[in-house]
Amino acid sequence: MTRPLDEAFDKVDDRPPLQLTTMEEAELEEAEAEIARGELACADEVRAMWKKHGL
């Protein structure tokens, strides 16, 4: 690996795991259920979301 990549991995390894709030956990579970049901955004919906956020 390259030195910058090694340094990046070292920084990530030193961080504690991300702790989700109860609300974030519920939203994640709902998102996973939507994916399991095949409820995915179409390309136009994704473009509209990016445009809404100026990207």
Q: Is the pTM of this model over 0.85?
A: no
Q: Identify which of 19, 28, 11 has the alpha carbon closest to the alpha carbon of residue 3.
A: 11
2 confidence band (pLDDT: 50, 70, 90)? confident
pLDDT in tens, 7-32: 888 877 777 788 999 999 999 999 99
Please count the helices (runs of H) and the strands (runs of E) in the chain: 3, 0
What's the mean pLDDT when you consider all of the chain? 91
pLDDT band at 1 (very low <50, low <70, confident <90, very high): low
**Helix, strand, coil distribution of the chain in percent, nearest 5:** 65, 0, 35
- Judged against a pLDDT cut of 80, whether residue 36 lies above it is answered with yes
**Rounded CA gap, 35 and 9, in Å?**
30
